[in-house]
Chains A and B, each alone.
Chain A
Amino acid sequence: EDQVTQSPEALRLQEGESSSLNCSYTVSGLRGLFWYRQDPGKGPEFLFTLYSAGEEKEKERLKATLTKKESFLHITAPKPEDSATYLCAVQQAGSYQLTFGKGTKLSVIP
Protein backbone atom coordinates (compact mmCIF):
# COMPACT_ATOMS: atom_id res chain seq x y z
CA GLU A 1 0.00 0.00 0.00
CA ASP A 2 1.30 3.42 -0.98
CA GLN A 3 2.08 5.73 1.93
CA VAL A 4 2.92 9.42 2.07
CA THR A 5 4.01 11.20 5.25
CA GLN A 6 4.56 14.93 5.39
CA SER A 7 6.46 16.79 8.09
CA PRO A 8 6.16 19.01 9.93
CA GLU A 9 2.37 19.28 10.22
CA ALA A 10 2.70 23.02 10.71
CA LEU A 11 5.54 25.49 10.25
CA ARG A 12 5.77 29.14 11.21
CA LEU A 13 8.47 31.23 9.57
CA GLN A 14 9.47 34.84 9.73
CA GLU A 15 9.42 36.60 6.39
CA GLY A 16 12.77 35.91 4.71
CA GLU A 17 13.54 32.83 6.85
CA SER A 18 14.25 29.95 4.46
CA SER A 19 13.22 26.38 5.31
CA SER A 20 12.23 23.00 3.87
CA LEU A 21 9.14 20.80 3.96
CA ASN A 22 9.55 17.04 3.86
CA CYS A 23 7.53 14.35 2.07
CA SER A 24 8.50 10.72 2.75
CA TYR A 25 6.90 8.09 0.58
CA THR A 26 6.59 4.35 0.06
CA VAL A 27 5.37 3.20 -3.35
CA SER A 28 5.92 0.19 -5.57
CA GLY A 29 7.23 1.76 -8.73
CA LEU A 30 6.99 5.54 -8.68
CA ARG A 31 5.27 7.07 -11.69
CA GLY A 32 5.49 10.62 -10.33
CA LEU A 33 5.56 12.74 -7.19
CA PHE A 34 3.41 15.86 -7.15
CA TRP A 35 3.42 19.02 -5.05
CA TYR A 36 0.32 21.16 -4.65
CA ARG A 37 -0.47 24.36 -2.79
CA GLN A 38 -3.88 24.80 -1.15
CA ASP A 39 -5.28 28.09 0.14
CA PRO A 40 -8.13 28.07 2.68
CA GLY A 41 -11.50 27.38 1.05
CA LYS A 42 -9.97 26.56 -2.34
CA GLY A 43 -8.90 23.49 -4.25
CA PRO A 44 -5.27 22.37 -4.50
CA GLU A 45 -3.20 24.23 -7.08
CA PHE A 46 -0.61 22.20 -9.00
CA LEU A 47 3.03 23.23 -8.46
CA PHE A 48 5.44 20.52 -9.63
CA THR A 49 5.81 16.96 -10.89
CA LEU A 50 9.02 15.02 -10.20
CA TYR A 51 9.64 11.70 -11.93
CA SER A 52 13.04 10.37 -10.91
CA ALA A 53 15.60 10.61 -8.13
CA GLY A 54 17.91 13.58 -8.54
CA GLU A 55 15.35 15.66 -10.39
CA GLU A 56 14.75 19.25 -9.30
CA LYS A 57 12.09 21.81 -10.30
CA GLU A 58 11.93 25.51 -9.42
CA LYS A 59 9.24 28.15 -9.43
CA GLU A 60 9.86 31.58 -7.94
CA ARG A 61 10.87 31.00 -4.27
CA LEU A 62 10.08 27.27 -4.36
CA LYS A 63 12.35 24.40 -5.31
CA ALA A 64 11.33 20.74 -5.19
CA THR A 65 13.82 17.88 -5.06
CA LEU A 66 13.41 14.10 -5.14
CA THR A 67 15.31 11.11 -3.78
CA LYS A 68 14.28 7.45 -3.80
CA LYS A 69 12.52 7.80 -0.44
CA GLU A 70 11.58 11.44 0.00
CA SER A 71 11.01 14.82 -1.55
CA PHE A 72 11.77 18.26 -0.19
CA LEU A 73 10.08 21.53 -0.95
CA HIS A 74 12.60 24.28 -0.24
CA ILE A 75 11.26 27.76 0.33
CA THR A 76 13.80 30.54 -0.06
CA ALA A 77 13.17 33.94 1.57
CA PRO A 78 9.42 33.32 1.95
CA LYS A 79 6.84 36.08 1.87
CA PRO A 80 3.48 36.22 3.68
CA GLU A 81 1.72 35.32 0.42
CA ASP A 82 3.49 31.94 0.52
CA SER A 83 1.32 31.03 3.53
CA ALA A 84 -0.77 27.99 2.56
CA THR A 85 -1.02 24.25 3.06
CA TYR A 86 1.41 22.34 0.87
CA LEU A 87 0.36 18.85 -0.22
CA CYS A 88 2.51 16.05 -1.56
CA ALA A 89 1.12 13.11 -3.56
CA VAL A 90 2.53 10.03 -5.28
CA GLN A 91 1.31 8.09 -8.29
CA GLN A 92 2.20 4.45 -8.70
CA ALA A 93 3.29 3.24 -12.11
CA GLY A 94 0.31 1.96 -14.09
CA SER A 95 -2.23 3.64 -11.82
CA TYR A 96 -4.48 6.66 -12.29
CA GLN A 97 -4.68 7.29 -8.56
CA LEU A 98 -2.80 9.77 -6.42
CA THR A 99 -2.09 9.05 -2.77
CA PHE A 100 -1.89 12.28 -0.80
CA GLY A 101 -0.09 13.17 2.39
CA LYS A 102 -1.94 15.17 5.03
CA GLY A 103 -0.07 18.37 4.21
CA THR A 104 2.12 20.95 5.90
CA LYS A 105 0.46 24.20 6.91
CA LEU A 106 2.95 27.01 6.36
CA SER A 107 2.51 30.41 7.98
CA VAL A 108 4.89 33.24 7.05
CA ILE A 109 4.83 36.09 9.51
CA PRO A 110 5.70 39.64 8.32
Chain B
Amino acid sequence: DVKVTQSSRYLVKRTGEKVFLECVQDMDHENMFWYRQDPGLGLRLIYFSYDVKMKEKGDIPEGYSVSREKKERFSLILESASTNQTSMYLCAASGVDQPQHFGDGTRLSIL
Protein backbone atom coordinates (compact mmCIF):
# COMPACT_ATOMS: atom_id res chain seq x y z
CA ASP B 1 0.00 0.00 0.00
CA VAL B 2 1.02 3.57 -0.65
CA LYS B 3 2.23 5.43 2.41
CA VAL B 4 1.64 9.18 2.36
CA THR B 5 3.11 11.05 5.30
CA GLN B 6 2.31 14.64 6.21
CA SER B 7 4.88 16.26 8.46
CA SER B 8 2.51 17.75 11.04
CA ARG B 9 -0.89 16.66 12.34
CA TYR B 10 -1.60 20.02 13.97
CA LEU B 11 -0.09 23.44 13.27
CA VAL B 12 -0.82 26.89 14.66
CA LYS B 13 0.53 29.97 12.87
CA ARG B 14 0.03 33.73 12.90
CA THR B 15 -1.56 35.91 10.24
CA GLY B 16 1.02 37.03 7.70
CA GLU B 17 3.46 34.19 8.35
CA LYS B 18 4.85 32.09 5.51
CA VAL B 19 3.75 28.50 6.17
CA PHE B 20 5.16 25.30 4.73
CA LEU B 21 3.25 22.00 4.72
CA GLU B 22 5.27 18.96 3.73
CA CYS B 23 4.15 15.67 2.21
CA VAL B 24 6.22 12.58 1.41
CA GLN B 25 5.16 9.40 -0.42
CA ASP B 26 7.05 6.12 -0.48
CA MET B 27 5.82 4.49 -3.71
CA ASP B 28 7.59 6.44 -6.45
CA HIS B 29 4.25 7.71 -7.75
CA GLU B 30 4.17 10.36 -10.46
CA ASN B 31 1.15 12.32 -9.25
CA MET B 32 0.76 14.26 -6.03
CA PHE B 33 -2.09 16.50 -4.88
CA TRP B 34 -2.95 19.05 -2.21
CA TYR B 35 -6.56 19.50 -1.04
CA ARG B 36 -8.25 21.42 1.70
CA GLN B 37 -11.32 20.09 3.46
CA ASP B 38 -13.86 22.36 5.12
CA PRO B 39 -17.23 21.52 6.72
CA GLY B 40 -20.04 21.87 4.21
CA LEU B 41 -17.63 22.37 1.29
CA GLY B 42 -15.99 18.98 1.01
CA LEU B 43 -12.56 18.38 -0.49
CA ARG B 44 -11.30 21.03 -2.89
CA LEU B 45 -8.17 20.70 -4.99
CA ILE B 46 -5.55 23.42 -4.50
CA TYR B 47 -2.66 22.24 -6.69
CA PHE B 48 -1.34 19.05 -8.18
CA SER B 49 1.87 17.83 -9.75
CA TYR B 50 2.31 15.10 -12.35
CA ASP B 51 6.09 15.11 -12.38
CA VAL B 52 9.10 16.65 -10.68
CA LYS B 53 9.10 20.44 -11.06
CA MET B 54 5.70 20.28 -12.83
CA LYS B 55 2.60 21.78 -11.26
CA GLU B 56 -0.95 22.62 -12.21
CA LYS B 57 -3.53 24.82 -10.50
CA GLY B 58 -6.58 23.18 -9.06
CA ASP B 59 -9.87 24.82 -8.21
CA ILE B 60 -8.69 27.14 -5.42
CA PRO B 61 -4.99 28.07 -5.91
CA GLU B 62 -5.21 31.68 -4.75
CA GLY B 63 -2.93 32.40 -1.80
CA TYR B 64 -0.99 29.15 -2.21
CA SER B 65 2.04 27.90 -4.10
CA VAL B 66 3.72 24.50 -4.33
CA SER B 67 7.14 22.99 -4.80
CA ARG B 68 8.18 19.58 -6.07
CA GLU B 69 11.96 19.30 -6.27
CA LYS B 70 12.04 15.53 -5.70
CA LYS B 71 9.56 12.89 -6.84
CA GLU B 72 8.67 11.76 -3.33
CA ARG B 73 8.11 15.20 -1.79
CA PHE B 74 5.41 17.80 -2.47
CA SER B 75 5.25 20.99 -0.45
CA LEU B 76 2.37 23.42 -0.05
CA ILE B 77 3.28 27.02 0.75
CA LEU B 78 1.01 29.68 2.18
CA GLU B 79 2.79 32.84 1.12
CA SER B 80 1.16 35.10 3.72
CA ALA B 81 -1.22 33.15 5.93
CA SER B 82 -4.69 34.52 6.52
CA THR B 83 -7.45 33.40 8.87
CA ASN B 84 -9.57 32.09 5.98
CA GLN B 85 -6.85 29.53 5.34
CA THR B 86 -7.62 27.79 8.62
CA SER B 87 -8.56 24.31 7.45
CA MET B 88 -7.69 20.63 7.22
CA TYR B 89 -5.07 20.11 4.50
CA LEU B 90 -4.79 16.71 2.83
CA CYS B 91 -2.04 15.42 0.57
CA ALA B 92 -2.56 12.52 -1.86
CA ALA B 93 -0.42 10.50 -4.27
CA SER B 94 -1.23 8.23 -7.18
CA GLY B 95 0.48 6.31 -9.94
CA VAL B 96 -0.60 6.45 -13.56
CA ASP B 97 -4.23 5.24 -13.79
CA GLN B 98 -4.22 4.42 -10.09
CA PRO B 99 -6.50 5.70 -7.30
CA GLN B 100 -5.31 8.52 -5.07
CA HIS B 101 -4.09 7.57 -1.61
CA PHE B 102 -4.25 10.16 1.14
CA GLY B 103 -2.22 11.13 4.15
CA ASP B 104 -3.87 11.75 7.52
CA GLY B 105 -3.97 15.50 7.09
CA THR B 106 -2.63 18.61 8.77
CA ARG B 107 -5.12 20.64 10.78
CA LEU B 108 -3.88 24.21 10.35
CA SER B 109 -5.09 27.11 12.48
CA ILE B 110 -4.20 30.68 11.55
CA LEU B 111 -4.60 33.13 14.43
Contact = CB atoms under 8 A, between A and B. Distances in A.
A45 interface: yes
Interface string A36-69: 1000011111100100000000000000000000
Contacts of B31: 96
Contact of B99 (A41, A46, A103): A46
A110 to B, nearest CB: 27
Interface in A69-110: 87, 89, 96-98, 100-103
Given A97-B48, A97-B58, A43 B40 contact: no
A43 B90 contact: yes
Interface residues of B, number: 23
B45 A43 contact: no
Contacts of A36: 102
B101 interface: yes
Nearest to A100: B43
A44 B4 CA distance: 12
A100 B42 contact: yes
A89 B101 CA distance: 13
A96 B50 contact: yes
A98 B101 contact: no
Interface of A: 32, 34, 36, 41-46, 49, 87, 89, 96-98, 100-103
